[in-house]
Amino acid sequence: DIAAASVTAAGSVLRCQFDLSGAATGAWSVVATNPDLETAVLADAFTVVGAIWTENFDGVVSGWTTEATTGSNSWSLSTAQSDSPTTSYFAPGPSSKSTTNLVSPAIPIPSGVNNLQLRFRHFHTLQNLRDAGKLELSVNNGSWFDVTDSGSGAAFASYPYNGTIGGTGKPSSRNEFADESAWTGNSGGFVETIVNLTDNAKFAGNDLRVRWRLATDSSTSSAGWYVDSVSLTGDGNFSNQPPAIATAASSTSVETVTDPDSSIYQIIRGSSAALSVSASDDSGEPALTYTWAVTSGPGAPVAFSANGSNASRETTATFQEAGDYLISVTVRDSEGLAVSSSVDLRVVQTASAIAVTPSVATLVVGGTQEFNAIELDQFGIDMAVQPSSFSWQTNGGGAISAAGLFSATSVGGPFTVTAGSGTISNTADVTVTPAAAGVLLGTLAQTYDGSPKPVSVTTTPPGLAVSVTYNGSTNAPVSAGSYEVVATVTDANYAGSETGTLVVSQAAAEVSLGGLATTY
């Protein structure tokens, strides 16, 4: 109970005052008791409504914005006229066509309130039916709508629009509100407009913005429009309520699978997933923070692109291995109350690459090299189920079998060996070097007979092309003597040489003597 103060009686009239600071919202009854302990009850004598939000522009004004959609902006704080000392917002009405807006900050409405009323006091002196003002609302930063629009969920309870704005004149000069209802003319001082927010479900638990729009035509100027003493009131539960999940946590994947235990998993075939959740709060959604975490998973850490902020209601989770993940998000308000939501994700192995081993090989002509391939998932991990076979190709140096066995037949490189499976492939490099060849020199001892004396050369493998020099000359010697012989294999696929000494011996000469008998 609240005891009355300053109680006075004048005849049959009893006067008193109550200090209602801290009083609960709702209807209050007054009980009067005289010295003889006789009582009288005035049931529901008055109603206390809660002030959800107020602004009289007399202190620090924050969050308000002004803008012009036609002409130039002219809304500003003014001390020329005010309802509550000493300041109001004011915009003059110019003689040119203009439309300017005064926009409130977002007003968070508790979810447990009802009987919402928007109140403000204003004083307009506008060219009648030519210049005009309107009131519009927006919920959760959505589209603006007029109080009088169908489905607005709001209705004027006092001092509604008082005129229909003229629709004559050229479009370039007539008022933007032509043929529409609005405030116009002279209000005769500050008057109070009350708007009942009748659709409680539309407004409670959401953010409300209000804007006052002043529009003029191209004719006579007007003194202007003052706005002051703005409040949003209601009754019900004003205590802090925990956030409410509006849209459950989810990914952008449209592929799902239902397990035998009825668990539904959203399928992720890449290494990351875009996640989102939405929530509302009686203190407004911008005050909420969203914190994502892995409740269960295969063990590898998960990184979130944004976390622990209001912006992280949308984030990207990056994984390091396949498996089943339960991702949860905790939505917390400024006073610590929280609610959570979760989503089951199944990150499945997706063939993304092929590893070929060895990646680099060198072998000689006639040699072989076995190449192996394995299919990798999006994390570089071996696929649990491998292809039954890979396709193998090479661009030179030899041939490769269907099993990946490369047979070298010609020198060169590096050549490319390609392993493929479906649309995925990878390569290895192979270089082929010459094989060793044996060289045997023969007929190194010969006798001069006046003809060239080439040596004989035998190769292993047989039949290889060979160059032979004799003391550096490619011509076989004729004359007797000793010659250094170098035989070198010239076949590009083989390497080998041999040296030796060719000895061409002098031939035996026959000497015949004649005239050995003479007559004296």
Q: pLDDT per residue over 102-118, tens digit each?
A: 999 888 888 778 899 99
Q: In the predicted model, what is the mean pLDDT of residues 309-318?
A: 97
Q: What domains are there in the chain, each with its CATH number?
A: 5-48 (no CATH), 52-236 (2.60.120.200), 244-347 (2.60.40.10), 353-433 (2.60.40.10), 436-505 (2.60.40)
Q: What length is written for the chain?
A: 520
Helix (H) / strand (E) containing 33: strand 26-33
Cα 428 to Cα 423: distance, rounded to the nearest angstrom: 17
Residue type, 198: T
> What is the residue whose two structure tokens read 């005239």?
515
pLDDT of residue 16: 83
Residues 195, 198, 204, CA angle at the centre, nearest 5°?
A: 100
Alpha carbon of 134 to those of 115, 173, 398: distances in Å?
23, 19, 85
pLDDT of residue 271 exceeding 70, the answer is yes
Please count the CA atoms within 13 angstroms of the CA of 404 that sit on its side-chain side: 17
Q: Over 80: is that where the pLDDT of 50 sits? A: no
Cα dihedral sign, 221-222-228-233: negative
| pLDDT tens for each residue of 19-46 | 776 677 678 899 998 888 889 899 988 7
pLDDT of residue 254: 95
The pLDDT, as a whole number, for residue 273 is 98
Burial class from Cβ neighbours inside 10 Å (0-12, 13-18, 19+) for residue 145 reads middle
pLDDT at site 22: 67
- The share of the chain scoring above pLDDT 70, in percent, equals 98
- 466-476: per-residue pLDDT in tens? 999 999 999 99
Question: Which residue's structure tokens are 């299919």?
Answer: 375
Identify the helix (H) or strand (E) that includes residue 200. Answer: helix 200-203
Q: Which long-range contacts (CB under 8 A, 24 or more apart) does 466-475 make?
A: 466/439, 466/490, 470/502
DSSP 285: G
The model's pLDDT over 223-262, given as tens digits with 9 standing for 90+, comes to 999 999 999 998 876 667 788 899 999 999 999 999 998 8
Which residue in 279, 265, 228 sits closest to 111, CA to CA? 279
- Asked if the model's pLDDT at residue 403 lies above 90, the reply is yes
Per residue, the 3-state secondary structure of 438-455, as one string, reads EEEEECCEEECCCCCCCC
- Taking the C-alpha atoms of residue 409 and residue 405, their distance in angstroms, rounded to an integer, is 13
3-state secondary structure 311-333: HHHEEEEECCCCEEEEEEEEEEC
Rg of the chain in Å (alpha carbons)? 50
Q: Strand 412-421: give its sheet, edge to edge.
A: 360-364, 424-433, 412-421, 391-394
CA–CA dist 188, 494 (Å, integer): 113
Q: What is the pLDDT of residue 53?
A: 87
Tokens of 147: 């109080």
- The answer, yes or no, to whether residue 142 has pLDDT greater than 70, is yes
What pLDDT score does 111 carry?
A: 78
Given pLDDT bands bounded at 50, 70 and 90, which one contains residue 282?
A: confident
What does DSSP say about strands 445-447 and 26-33: parallel, antiparallel, or unpaired?
unpaired
